[in-house]
Structure 1
Amino acid sequence: MTGHTAARHARHPTGLLRSIYLPRTADALAFAMATYGIPLLVLATTRSSALTGLAFVLEWIPRLAVFGWAGAVVDRRGAAVVFFLASLGRALAVAVGALVLLLWPSGAVASVTVMSLAALTGVLTECSYVAVETAGAAAGRRAGARAHQVQAALLGIDQSATLAGPALAAALLLVGPSSMLAVIMVLSLLAALLALRTPPSPLAPARASKSSTGAGLLTGWRTIRSLPALGWLVTGLTLSNLTIGLFQAAGPVIVVNHYGQSTTAVGLIWSAAAAATLVTVAVCRFAIDRLGLWPVGAACAAVASLACLAAAQAPDYLSYLILVAALMAADGGMTVVLRTLRSRLIPADRFGSTLSATILILLLPFPIAGAFTALTPPDALAHLLTGCAVLQAIGLLFAFARLRTDPALRT
């Protein structure tokens, strides 16, 4: 860090609570409500499973497209500026959407509005996410020896928001679409105001141009290919994410149409999953210290595969909720393994680009899952989930079989 940058940070003595944790909390809640609430809003407005799946696609494709660009903008302009503008833009978008739905609650105008909201909130939420992640990483570096405490707190904030956000969005949707969007707008405005307290992150050198995004992702891809252990784990988790994406995209259709539950029941599933993930992440931290990465990762992979296969054929809503929660909890354990492995293997000078490439690969299955949901008749969704569950089980089996003797997971 240069002397000029250090001086800039020194002028921001604001505590972590007001400068990092509170902005992260407001943004994470808005993030969770938009991600899980918009597809529910589409289903409630259009009554179409195809449009619900398409909305999921429209949420994720812009996120993937903007991912590298958002990182480059954060590097050039700073996390605080991007965080403020993205949060303010999301507040304005949902405010306009709420007003339109208040005037035209159904019909073509309502359908176009909710589909547009899916795309706009996807882009703006990804920009704010990259910005707050950058701010959190900078806070960890400034914390020095207490960096792990900062990251643990940020992870807890994210999981808590995932626990509360879906249930809150579903409950507000029962009152009316405008109510849910109004709360997202308030949280986004709060995040934008709190972003003004966020310390600026160190700006990248002037050489960070528009072309650096593609070059950085190419460097990250080459690094992943040069690290077999990381490559196999990313491959297994990518196949697993395809199935998880299907459960997220098809969840509203399955719960509402197949099990005859309300939209609130959909939110409860992801809140239960977030609670189970919080417990699993805490347990895995101790288990990895005692047993190592491979046994913990392999156990989580086995649980995820079995839970996924069973959830695809769940006879009632309660068993479906429990099995999806078990699937997401096991996925959380595998994510701990991935983060630990990635911190051990990726060279420091290529960490940022490799991290971006890894996240991009892991997110690619989500819009694909939305497309599958949109193209599949509601009665055939269970068969689609079963097929993807089998693919997930095979992928995780091969990945952890190849990793069984790898020194990186035995250290």
Structure 2
Amino acid sequence: MSGGVIPRHARPTAGLLRGIYLPRAVEALASAMSTYGIPLLVLTTTGSAALTGLAFALEWVPRLAAFGWAGAIVDRRGASVVFFLASLSRALALAAGAVLLLLRPDGTVAAVSVMALAATTGALTEFSYIAAETAGAAASRRAAARAHRVQAALLGIDQTANLAGPALAALLLLTGPPQMLTVITVLSLLAALLALRTPPSPVAPARAPKGNTSAGLRTGWRTIRSLPALGWLVAGLTLSNLATGLLQAASPVIVVNHFGQSTTAVGLLWSAAAAATLLSVTLCRFAIDRAGLWPVGATCAALASLACLAAGQAPDYFSYLVLVAVLMAAEGGLAVVLRTLRSRLIPPDRFGSTLSATILILLLPFPIAGVLTALTPPDALGPVITACAFLQAIGLFLAFARLRTDPALRT
């Protein structure tokens, strides 16, 4: 990028630990508690399986709507500014929700409050996520051949948060919904403050052309189409995410209603899955050093497909927990492959827009999964999960068969 001004999110920061890893860790913990805790909050407040599935969909629909704006704004304003404002706004929304639930702990007001909270926090979380991912990708580019190690570290941070977040949210929910929301509020405020610790560069920031949401998404879509390796991998993972999203949306209903466990067992389920994913990410980091991206990605794809097919037929809570853990561990390996590939291939000046388009495509199945959960009777969730697992297996097989000789995964 010689001869031009370096985009703000592509400049060196004050250090990986203080400028990238620490803000990402606090933000990831707040996000994990919000993503997994609010559906539990809905189930506790309303006692309705249908509303729980609807809340999951409401978390994801605003996220999808926010991606076009998020990518364009990060490219234009810089990652740290967007990170700060998104985390601060989420803290204010959570604080308002905590006050409402303290005053009206049940009834129509409580139900409307928690559903609105699901939609609001979902959108704001995606702004902070795009900003954090953009900053992490800039660090990966500076790491050059060791980019997968930076991405593995970032994914390890996310999975550590996913290990602690669901369990912590479930435990805090036992003390009361306002208490859980208050803790997430404090973490969001801390994330906003840590985002300010990255010192501003003395170089004037580059301004991306001002445009609307669709313009940013069109730029990202054109970039994905120009990178066949990235396009095939995104297509396969999109089908895979339908099965994964259905498991996430349906798990509170399956664990509580079908297996007869408590809401704490739901938190334990996702904490165990996050622990398995964290181990998987660590192993994949060294496996990619030795074998390369394609063999590791293909192996993880096979494991994910088999585990999801078996999860739909799980006879008890323990076997369901183990299968979900294996599935999420395999998904973690696939995430390392995807993050490394996109940080390697996407041009820095279009990274925010392309990242937004990529994640928008990948997350489209999640609100669909929430709607499926809301419309499916609890006793029929197993066959629906199995059907989605077949789609997952087909999508991943076609993607990695196409990528077997692609130089982008062999370099």
Instruction: State TM-score, norm by structure 1.
Output: 0.89
The residue aligned with 2:165 is: 165
Go from structure 1 to structure 2 and tell me whether the alpha carbon gap of 1:108 and 1:305 turns closer, same or farther (over 3 Å shift).
same
What displacement does 1:289 show?
A: 3.1
Do the aligned residues in 2 keep the contact of 1:77 with 1:203 (CA within 8 Å)? no
Number of residue pairs matched? 407
Do the aligned residues in 1 keep the contact of 2:274 with 2:329 (CA within 8 Å)? yes
Alpha-carbon distance in 2 for matches of 1:338, 1:18: 25
**Cα offsets for 1:327-362 (capped at 9, x unmatched):** 011111122222333344445565444333222111
Q: Tell me the secondary structure at the aligned position of residue 102 of structure 1.
A: helix
Do the aligned residues in 2 keep the contact of 1:76 with 1:203 (CA within 8 Å)? no
The residue aligned with 1:269 is: 269
Alignment of 1:217-232 (within 5 A): 217-232=217-232
Alignment of 1:244-259 (within 5 A): 244-259=244-259
What displacement does 1:238 show?
A: 0.5
Go from structure 1 to structure 2 and tell me whether the alpha carbon gap of 1:305 and 1:147 turns closer, same or farther (over 3 Å shift).
closer
| Long gaps (5+) in structure 2 | none
The residue aligned with 1:403 is: 403
The residue aligned with 1:210 is: 211
Name the aligned partner's letter for residue 209 of structure 2.
A
The residue aligned with 1:37 is: 37
Runs of 4+ in 1 over 6 A off after TM superposition: 1-6, 141-149
Go from structure 1 to structure 2 and tell me whether the alpha carbon gap of 1:346 and 1:193 turns closer, same or farther (over 3 Å shift).
closer
**Cα offsets for 1:87-125 (capped at 9, x unmatched):** 222122111211211222211111001001001111111
Go from structure 1 to structure 2 and tell me whether the alpha carbon gap of 1:287 and 1:167 turns closer, same or farther (over 3 Å shift).
same
1:195 lines up with 2:205 in the alignment: no
Q: Which moved more, 1:99-108 or 1:141-150?
A: 141-150
Alpha-carbon distance in 2 for matches of 1:164, 1:139: 25
Go from structure 1 to structure 2 and tell me whether the alpha carbon gap of 1:343 and 1:59 turns closer, same or farther (over 3 Å shift).
same
Alpha-carbon distance in 1 for matches of 2:320, 2:240: 18
Do the aligned residues in 2 keep the contact of 1:273 with 1:324 (CA within 8 Å)? yes
Name the aligned partner's letter for residue 39 of structure 2.
P
What displacement does 1:208 show?
A: 2.2
Q: Which moved more, 1:234-243 or 1:271-280?
A: 271-280
Alpha-carbon distance in 2 for matches of 1:145, 1:409: 13
What displacement does 1:152 show?
A: 4.6
1:390 lines up with 2:390 in the alignment: yes
What displacement does 1:156 show?
A: 2.6
1:287 lines up with 2:287 in the alignment: yes
The residue aligned with 1:97 is: 97
Q: Which moved more, 1:179-188 or 1:213-222?
A: 213-222
Let me know the Cα RMSD of the aligned residues. Answer: 2.8
What displacement does 1:139 show?
A: 5.4
Q: Tell me the secondary structure at the aligned position of residue 105 of structure 1.
A: coil
Alpha-carbon distance in 2 for matches of 1:305, 1:95: 40
Do the aligned residues in 2 keep the contact of 1:29 with 1:165 (CA within 8 Å)? yes
Name the aligned partner's letter for residue 189 of structure 2.
L
Alignment of 1:124-163 (within 5 A): 124-138=124-138, 151-163=151-163
Go from structure 1 to structure 2 and tell me whether the alpha carbon gap of 1:77 and 1:258 turns closer, same or farther (over 3 Å shift).
same
Do the aligned residues in 1 keep the contact of 2:75 with 2:349 (CA within 8 Å)? no
Q: Tell me the secondary structure at the aligned position of residue 239 of structure 1.
A: helix
Go from structure 1 to structure 2 and tell me whether the alpha carbon gap of 1:88 and 1:376 turns closer, same or farther (over 3 Å shift).
same
Do the aligned residues in 2 keep the contact of 1:135 with 1:198 (CA within 8 Å)? no
Alpha-carbon distance in 1 for matches of 2:22, 2:158: 12
Do the aligned residues in 1 keep the contact of 2:72 with 2:353 (CA within 8 Å)? no
**Cα offsets for 1:170-202 (capped at 9, x unmatched):** 111112111111110111122222233233478
Q: Which moved more, 1:189-198 or 1:241-250?
A: 189-198
Name the aligned partner's letter for residue 259 of structure 2.
Y
Go from structure 1 to structure 2 and tell me whether the alpha carbon gap of 1:190 and 1:262 turns closer, same or farther (over 3 Å shift).
same
Instruction: State TM-score, norm by structure 2.
Output: 0.89
**Cα offsets for 1:354-376 (capped at 9, x unmatched):** 33322211111111111111111
The residue aligned with 1:298 is: 298
Identity of aligned residues (%): 77
Q: Tell me the secondary structure at the aligned position of residue 315 of structure 2.
A: coil
The residue aligned with 2:240 is: 240
**Cα offsets for 1:13-47 (capped at 9, x unmatched):** 96654444332222111111001100010011111
Go from structure 1 to structure 2 and tell me whether the alpha carbon gap of 1:362 and 1:204 turns closer, same or farther (over 3 Å shift).
farther
Do the aligned residues in 2 keep the contact of 1:53 with 1:373 (CA within 8 Å)? yes
Alpha-carbon distance in 1 for matches of 2:341, 2:207: 32
Alpha-carbon distance in 1 for matches of 2:145, 2:389: 42
Alpha-carbon distance in 2 for matches of 1:106, 1:268: 26
Alpha-carbon distance in 1 for matches of 2:148, 2:140: 7
Alpha-carbon distance in 1 for matches of 2:365, 2:140: 30
Alpha-carbon distance in 1 for matches of 2:143, 2:286: 23
Name the aligned partner's letter for residue 210 of structure 1.
G
Do the aligned residues in 1 keep the contact of 2:76 with 2:208 (CA within 8 Å)? no
Alpha-carbon distance in 2 for matches of 1:294, 1:17: 29
Alpha-carbon distance in 2 for matches of 1:342, 1:141: 10
What displacement does 1:253 show?
A: 0.6
Alpha-carbon distance in 2 for matches of 1:4, 1:293: 33
**Cα offsets for 1:111-170 (capped at 9, x unmatched):** 001001001111111122223333444556678898776555433322211111011001
Alpha-carbon distance in 1 for matches of 2:200, 2:368: 36
